[in-house]
Amino acid sequence: MAGFQLFNFTHQLLELSTRVRSARHEVLSANIANADTPGYRPKDLDFQSVMQSAVESNTDAIARGSEALPRGPLDVRSMVYEPEYPDNRHGEDRLDKNSVSIDRQMSLLTENSLAYEASLTLLSRALAGLRYVIGEGRR
Amino acid sequence: MDLFKIFSISGSGMAAQRSRMSVVAGNLANTETTRSPDGGPYRRRDVIFQAVPAEGEFSERLADLSDRPNDVQGVEVVGIKQSIRPPRKIFDPAHPDANPEGYVSLPDINPIEEMVDMLSAARSYEANLSAYNTTKSLIRKILDIGRNP
Amino acid sequence: MSVIKNVDLVYRPETLSRPQGVEQAPKGDFENQLKSALGEVDQLQRNAEQAIQQMVGEGKGDLQETMIALEKADVSFRLMMQIRNKVLDAYQEIMRMQV
């Protein structure tokens, strides 16, 4: 956005983090829906590494000050993986070979939701701050 | 956050667990049923769950699941299977359905097993409901982006 | 918080001294700058409109993307209005000057 950039790196990072959190919420909800599906293995999204690679692959663009982080809908499929939990017996202890632990999924969901709300709040405030500044402090 | 998709995931979980509870209730109601429409004692029923793609469009639901292993998936009851366990035989010559040797074939249903199944289904249902409510509050939060402070 | 370690690499002092909005701005031509800025504001408005149509008309689309698109369109529009007001004020000031 030459000559007209309102949204700095922090804003873009915030926006990206909310999108990744949203995608992860879908994945974790799907695990809970499939808590009793035969053979199903829980999936997750590595939030840290997605953010990391987004920042790393764009450091030059970011340093120049242009909007560089990925725009548009995220490709969730490429970020999803099947985690290895230490106490997980991969469903061997169940007749239906399902390996979802509802308790773990619920606590992951809660953790993700809180972080998601935090990002949303910060993003809201950043935008409100911009509006305030543009209005020269008048409201 | 694709509204339709995310609610359909948790919604499908709840619906599937409700079906499961229905079937378990049916089993519990028929522990002593000696006559069923297909002849013979009632056979224990169980639901068959399958993970299905959570996209909204019908055409995408027909796509082969194995091509998209990492797609976010909801769940669906694809069928109800009947138990192949042999019926319990109780010696009761006075029973109207006793066979010539005096044995009655009763359904092989263990009420305790069914109750545990019911509790598990209820717990899974509540987990899905909780996820659903969390989604609702997240969406309200998203709408707050546009709200002036 | 391993994401934070990369932010240090990015926030080099020289980027701080350069004002945020002036990334290799074309030299001199204010009119062109204004035109391209207007074009971008327009594009943001169109994005927001399209997102709304998709969401309300077809029921598809990501709610979050829509809200953020709306906010960006709103904020950039306000900025443009303020710039326009300032330019008008400056023009009127000049017109009032005694020659």
**B74 Rama sector, left if φ>0, alpha if ψ -120 to 50, beta otherwise:** beta
pLDDT at A50: 83
Cβ of C34 under 8 Å from any chain A Cβ?
no
A81 and A46 Cβ atoms separated by less than 8 Å: yes
By the CB < 8 Å criterion, does B16 face chain A? yes
Total domains in the fold of chain B: 1
Mean pLDDT of chain A: 79
In C, which residues are within 8 Å of A13 by CB distance? 3
Phi, psi of A69, deg, nearest 5: -70, 150
Task: Please give the residue range of the domain that contains residue B109.
Answer: 3-146
Half-sphere exposure of residue B8, counting CA atoms within 13 Å on the CB side? Answer: 18
Confidence at residue A1, expressed as pLDDT on a 0 to 100 scale: 37
Q: B141–A117: do the CB atoms touch at under 8 Å?
A: yes
Confidence of residue B66 (pLDDT cuts 50, 70, 90): very low
User: Measured between CA atoms, how close is B124 to chain C, in angstroms?
Assistant: 27
Per-residue pLDDT, B57? 46
Interface touch B1/C59, C-beta < 8 Å: no
**Interface residue B136 vs chain A (CB under 8 A):** no
pLDDT at B25: 96
Look at residue A3 in the predicted model and tell me its pLDDT.
42
CB C72 within 8 A of CB C48: yes
CA A22 to CA A79: how far, in whole Å?
A: 13
DSSP C62: B
What are residue B73's phi and psi, to 5 degrees? -120, 140
pLDDT digits (tens, 9 = 90+) for B96-146: 888 888 999 999 999 999 999 999 999 999 999 999 999 999 999 988 887
Does the pLDDT value for residue C76 go beyond 90? no
B18-36 pLDDT per residue, tens? 999 999 999 999 998 888 8
Position A66 pLDDT exceeds 60: no
Q: The whole model's pTM is what?
A: 0.79
The pairing of strands B45-53 and A44-45 is unpaired
The candidate with the shortest Cα–Cα distance to B20, out of B108, B131, B120, is B120
Among A45-59, B62-76, C12-26, which stretch is predicted with the lowest mean pLDDT? C12-26
Q: What pLDDT sits at residue A97? A: 76
Does the CB of B3 have a partner CB in chain C at under 8 Å? Answer: yes
Could you tell me the CA-to-CA distances from C27 to A3, C24, C33, C79 in Å, in that order?
Answer: 11, 8, 9, 22
Strand partners, A44: A81
pLDDT surpasses 50 at A119: yes
Question: Nearest to residue C64, comparing CAs of B6, B10, B139?
Answer: B139
CB-closest option in B13, B120, B134 to A33 = B13
Query: What residue of C is the nearest CA neighbor of B147?
Result: C71
Element at A51 (helix H, strand E): helix A47-56
Q: Do the Cβ atoms of A119 and A21 come closer than 8 Å?
A: yes
When pLDDT is cut at 50, 70 and 90, the band that residue C16 belongs to is: very low
Predicted ipTM > 0.90: no
Sequence-ordered list of residues with C-beta below 8 angstroms from that of A106, at least 6 positions apart, any chain: A32, B127, B130, B131
Torsion of CA A125, A131, A135, A139, to 10 degrees: -50
| Residue A26 reports pLDDT greater than 80 | yes
pLDDT digits (tens, 9 = 90+) for C35-66: 888 888 888 899 889 888 888 887 777 888 88
To the nearest whole percent, how much of chain A has pLDDT over 70?
Answer: 73
Q: How far apart are CA A101 and CA A42, in angstroms?
A: 8
